[in-house]
């Protein structure tokens, strides 16, 4: 068959807006928290104590992901993960996701199928539904997600409650996504475990409500880097935080990768973003729940130090820098 005789792949323009929405949502199962899902002017989700936690993130092709590095399915999973991690960091249980999708008219529907498969798979991992959203034409692929959460009677855990004498602890992995980005940036695609951490992170969603139940005094999603995000806690709480490197977990796989790339794995752990681990402060060591790892202390003062000293170098990711 000559190339010119081959049938062109179906695009979103061929499908149309409402057929695309039906394609994305039909046949999907919603959790009990979804009282009214896609198809009306707005969705209705459970808010058991009358309060709703809400967070929005925007992912732009070429800024937050590259389709030559990640599959559309991995991009979809990542888009959900980065949003639900913020909900978990407030001590809430995810209750709904609203998806905004902008893409060129020439985008193949097969790619959108893969992308939405990733969205639904990660949503299922967090036991939450895609309850609504919108699709529009754009020159660049953009995914905007609003995540909703239910506090279920708990008080929200903000960045502003850390007190001198508290301990700092983390749940989830640190440094893996940064290592994966470094590997991809060198043109490699393995080790898969490290590269996959960048392509589709796995936040510890249940750890947020767990920390809230245990009496966490502050909490944050580690999206831009441990030191950078602990800096937000320190500033909001009016305290100083000291991270102790002897307490940090540096996995052997990160050590192996750093050796091959001539990098320092500790920098990935301290400043690498996009793992979406959770960092929290607790009133004392005995309050730290199972699955969390103590990594430092809260003191009087301001800012974040490492082993009592100012950290030399950038503390994490900053947009426009």
| Contact indicator for 59, 75 with CB cutoff of 8 Å | yes
Q: What is the mean pLDDT of residues 41-67?
A: 86
pLDDT per position as a tens digit, 38-53 = 766 666 777 888 889 9
The CATH code of the domain at 167-306 is: 3.90.650.10
Detail the residues annotated as belonging to a binding site: 41, 55-57, 64, 86, 133-134, 159, 221, 223-224, 274, 317
**Three-state secondary structure call for residue 101:** strand
| Interval 8-17 mean pLDDT | 76
Between 273 and 295, name the one with better pLDDT.
295
pLDDT tens sequence across 203-238: 999 999 999 999 999 999 999 999 999 999 999 999
Q: Is the pLDDT of residue 9 over 90?
A: no
Question: So where are the chain's domains?
Answer: 17-150, 167-306
Q: Tokens for 314? A: 């950038």
Q: Say yes or no: domain 17-150 is CATH 2.10.77.10.
A: no
> Is the pLDDT at 5 greater than 60, yes or no?
no
Average pLDDT, the chain: 90
Asked if 83 contacts 147 with a C-beta cutoff of 8 angstroms, the reply is yes
Q: Where are the beta strands (DSSP E) in the chain?
A: 34-36, 44-45, 52-60, 93-103, 130-137, 142-150, 167-171, 218-222, 240-243, 277-282, 293-299, 303-306
pLDDT tens readout for residues 267-281 = 999 999 999 999 999
Q: What are phi and psi of 281, to 5 degrees?
A: -115, 145
Position 27 pLDDT exceeds 80: no
How far is Cα 153 from Cα 148, in angstroms, rounded to an integer?
Answer: 15
Average pLDDT over residues 239-246: 97
Confidence of residue 319 (pLDDT cuts 50, 70, 90): very low
DSSP letter at 3 equals G
pLDDT given for residue 128 in this prediction: 95
pLDDT given for residue 41 in this prediction:
60
For the annotated binding site for substrate, the residues are 64, 274, 317
pTM higher than the cut 0.75: yes
Average pLDDT over residues 260-267: 94
* Beta-bridge partner residues of 57: 145
Topology match between the domains 17-150 and 167-306: no
Which residues carry a binding-site annotation for ATP? Answer: 133-134, 159, 223
For residue 318, pLDDT over 60 is answered with no
């Amino acid at each position: 068959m000559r190339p010119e005789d081959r049938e062109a792949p179906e695009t979103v323009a061929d499908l149309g807006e409402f057929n695309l929405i039906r394609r994305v949502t039909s046949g999907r199962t919603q959790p009990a928290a979804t009282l009214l899902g896609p198809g009306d002017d707005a969705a209705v989700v459970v808010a058991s104590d009358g309060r709703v936690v809400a967070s929005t993130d925007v992912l732009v092709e070429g800024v937050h992901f590259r389709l030559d590095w990640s599959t559309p399915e991995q991009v979809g999973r990542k888009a959900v993960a980065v949003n639900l991690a913020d909900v978990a960091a407030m001590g809430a249980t995810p209750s709904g996701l609203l998806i905004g999708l902008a893409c060129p008219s020439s985008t193949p529907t097969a790619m959108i199928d893969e992308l939405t498969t990733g969205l639904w798979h990660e949503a299922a991992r967090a036991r939450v539904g895609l309850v609504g959203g919108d699709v529009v034409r754009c020159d660049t692929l953009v995914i905007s997600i609003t995540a909703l959460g239910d506090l279920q009677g708990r008080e929200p855990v903000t960045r502003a409650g850390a007190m001198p004498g508290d301990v700092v602890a983390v749940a989830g992995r640190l440094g893996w996504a940064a290592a994966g980005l470094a590997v991809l940036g060198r043109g490699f695609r393995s080790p898969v475990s490290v590269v996959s951490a960048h392509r589709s992170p796995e936040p510890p969603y249940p750890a947020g409500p767990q920390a809230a139940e245990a009496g966490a005094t502050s909490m944050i999603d580690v999206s831009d880097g441990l030191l950078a995000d602990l800096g937000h806690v320190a500033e909001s709480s009016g305290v100083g935080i000291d991270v102790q490197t002897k307490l940090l977990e540096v996995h052997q796989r990160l050590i192996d990768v750093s050796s091959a790339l001539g990098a320092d794995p500790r920098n990935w752990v301290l400043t690498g973003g996009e793992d979406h681990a959770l960092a929290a402060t607790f009133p004392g060591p005995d309050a730290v729940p199972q699955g969390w790892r103590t990594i430092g202390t809260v003191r009087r003062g301001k800012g974040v130090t490492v082993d009592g000293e100012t950290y030399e170098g950038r503390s994490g990711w900053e947009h426009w820098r």
